[in-house]
Every structure is written in structure tokens, then in C-alpha cells.
Amino acid sequence: MIYELSGDDLLPLCMSSSPAKRVLVRPKSAPSQPDPPVGFTPPRNMMPDELLEDILLRVWLSRDWDSYKQRWYFYRSAMMVNHQWRTILHPLMLRYAIFESLVDFQVYEFLIKKHVEDVRGREPLETEDIPAGSSSTEIRKDSWMLFNTSLIRVPGSRTTWYSLSEFPNSQWLRLLLRSCRRCEFHMRDHCRISDCRVFGSEGQSLRTVTFVITSSLSIEDINTLTAADASRFPNVTTLHIFHSQNADLKRISTYLLEVKAILILFPNLKHLTLDSSVSLLSLTSLLTHLETLTLDVPPVYIQDSHATSLMGWNISAALKVVVSPKPEGENSSSNPGERMFRPKKITIITEETLPTGWHKLAEACEHFGVKLVHHVGYTKDDAYPGPLTAREAALENIRLSMAGWEFFEILPIAISKDLETLMEHCKQETEKLKNILQKLDDDAVKSDSESQQHSQVIISAKLSSNDADMNTTITQ
């Protein structure tokens, strides 16, 4: 349920300028609508719900907004299109929550409260569940079950990370967190791993966590994490850690410490994904419950050659580590000891050619009964291509922009005046891009023709010179 209010100073972004009104929703007990007659076709300005949901989800999760407010401007405009858009976009906003600024915290707190009030207002009132003297808007213990949050994304914003303490302090934001199944943290400068601990206090449904680290984290903050923090996320079983490929020497030196600090928070991991080389030999004590290990090993390009290698991961050595050392003088075959690192499956994502160290790893996996899988995720054509020239990059950006605008031009939807103005602006920009692209192509053709003419002149001059030399020789 969406309330459209005017004059609300707290939420000017997600509210429309129309008079205050409440959108009525048919109660569950109401009889269902009869089936449409044979030959009935939906209005031309309506799209299939599945297609519209996919489009709105891609736009909502896009990272190409000019500012953190643009996402909410889009939300406000889209909610005024028609009932179909409102019905689809509002659940998407609650299911895929993005906290990029303080405005996001305020807007989400307001919309969550309104959502709970609306749903509770349609339910039959049970006086035994509401204590005497409490208001009808008071939160109930099972209100978090009204939400089906799939993702909470926290981009790498310094202000946002300093405001993460708002989650446990807000009774409404806690509802979103308790129902969330997946969190995604983008770590940049001034972001601390210890701030993520606030998500562990209420994240009862949390199962998957993703870290995207693009810059070096604070060593002082990493040292504050201890084994006592291992109880923060007892239900998380899947962890993905991705690092920037353009890492400097400082990033490489602190990478192992960052991975260790993150693994401390998740003691019951079943599935781990890494995309940068790190010695697993130093992480065996933190991976005792791991069942599936996925390593993304992209090829390393040096000038015109490239190669992939598993030597830096030390997987074979990690498989041999035991819990406790064997007694002196005892035969290793009689008491091999219990291994600390006991995955059931290891998946290597790389190019079609087997990486260096594959055969040694295959022998170790066969010896310890570990399934080894080679997955082709990179090809010679699309994996880390060479750098584009300035002209090629400009042409690629122009073609992508034109494809996006032309796609939205043909959508059979009913749009508001604000969106019509935006679409008209897009059409004008598309025409400008077409003119620029045509000019670049004409310049390229002209330069090619000029170079061919120049080559023909040079060849003709050489042939004339050769003929003159030959005539001189014959005359002599």
C-alpha cells in the first residue's frame, strides 16, 4: 500500500504532489473477478508483468544514477504511471533495499512504517495481541514476516557506513533486516569491517553475504576483530569476497589480513568464493566447515601474452593440514590425523586452457576425495581484451547510449508528463548521438580514402622512377 501525501518535509522524494489520499485494496475475502471473455485482449498500453518487473528491477539496482536522490525521483515518477507500475515497483523497493545515504535511511523508515500500518489496518483487530494503552501503529513481534527482503546493498559511502548504527536503533529498519536473506557490502576508503557487525544482531534470515572491496581497509579496524565476533553471523553459510583487479602493492600486502578479518565473522561457512590469489594455507583454521570452494582465476595479460596459475593459492598444501600434530615416532599411515580443510568440491573458473598447477592439484584432490571442477568463464575474445583507442571507446559509448534510448522509445506504456518530458529529451540526445556517430564514420572513411590515395601516389612515383632507371640503362 502506498500513501501519496503532500507537505511532508521528511519525504519530499518519494511522495507526489497530489492531495492526500489512500489507495483502497480489495480485501482477501472479496470474491474473485470472473474470467475475461473469449478473445479479450489487454489494453495496448499494458506490458506483461514479468517483463515490466525485470525492467524496473534493473533500473532500481542500477549504479549509474547521477546522485543518491535520482533513484527516489524515479520511484516517485514511476509510482504515478498506473496501477500496474505501483503494484510491481513498491514490493521491489522493499525486497531490494539500497542504503546509499542518510536520505535512504529516512525514506525506508517512513515507507516501512506505512507498509506495516496499511497491512495491519486490513487485518481483523485482535485485542488480545495489543497491550492496553498502546497505539494501533505499534509494531508487533511478527511484523517482520510481512517483508520478503532478498537483498540489502550498502554502497561504499563514508556517510552511509557511519550511519549503520541506525539499523539496531530503529524498530522499522530492524524489520527489513530480520527478513533479509542476502547482504552486499561495498568497501571503500573509510569503510570498516567492524561496522558490519550490526547486521548480525537482527539478521535471523541472513544466509548470503557479499563483500566488494575496492581499496585498502584500515589495519587498526581489522585488528579489533577477535574470535568473540564469530557469533555475530551464525546463520550465514555463503560468502563471496571480490577485490579490485587494479591493486597496488599496499592492496596486495593487506589482502590476506582483510580476508582473515572477514572470515572471523562467519564461523559456519559452507560455500566460499574468492577472486584474488590468497594462500589458503593461512586460512585453514577458519574454513573447518567449508564444503564448496569457488575460485575465480582470470588470466593475467602481459603485453600480447597471458597465463593463468594456481600456484599462489596453496590449495594442495592446505588440504594436507591436520588439526593436531602427530605424536613423535608414530607412523603417519596408522594415524594420519583429522584434516582442518575438508571441502567436498573445488570449482576453478578460468579460461579453456588448464592453468599452471592444475595437474598437481588434481592429484591432491583425488588422494583426499575432493571433486575438482574446471569451469570455463573466460574466452580469448571477451576476457580482458586489450585497451580500446579513444575513438573506439567513444564509438562504443555512443552505440550503447543509442541502444538504451531507442529501447525505451518503443516501450508500449502509458507515461506521465514528467516522463514524457524526459523521453523527449532522450530523443533529442539520440539524434545528437546519431549525428556524432555519422560524422565519426565519415571521418574514418575519408581518412581511409586519403591514405589509399597517398599510397597510390607513392606507388606510382616508385614505378615511374623504376621506368626512368630502366630507360636510362637501356640507352646506355
Q: Using one digit for the tens of pLDDT, what is the confidence trace for 271-308?
A: 999 988 888 888 888 888 889 999 988 877 665 666 78
Beta-strand runs (E) in 190-270: 208-213, 238-243
Tell whether the model's pLDDT for residue 61 goes beyond 70. Answer: yes
Which residues 6+ apart lie within 8 Å of 435 measured at CB?
none
Please tell me the distance from the alpha carbon of residue 439 to that of residue 296, in angstroms, as a whole number: 42
Specify burial of residue 320 (Cβ count, 10 A radius: 0-12, 13-18, 19+). Answer: middle
Domain ranges of the chain: 1-24+45-123, 416-475
Q: What is the predicted pLDDT for the residue at 391?
A: 58
Q: Rg of the chain's alpha carbons, rounded to an integer?
A: 31
What is residue 155's predicted lDDT score, i.e. its pLDDT? Answer: 63
As a whole number, the mean pLDDT across the chain is: 68
Q: Closest Cα partner for 380 from 323, 322, 299, 318?
A: 299
The C-alpha atoms of residue 395 and residue 54 are separated, in whole angstroms, by: 28
Is 228 in contact with 202 (CB distance < 8 Å)? no
pLDDT of residue 401: 53
Q: What is the pLDDT of residue 26?
A: 43
268, pLDDT greater than 70: yes
Q: Name the phi and psi angles at 213, rounded to 5.
A: -105, 120
Q: Which of 33-42, 118-127, 299-308 has the highest mean pLDDT?
A: 299-308
pLDDT in tens, 190-201: 667 777 777 766
pLDDT digits (tens, 9 = 90+) for 225-237: 666 666 677 788 8
Q: What is the pLDDT of residue 455?
A: 57
- Summarize the confidence of residues 412-438 as an average pLDDT: 62
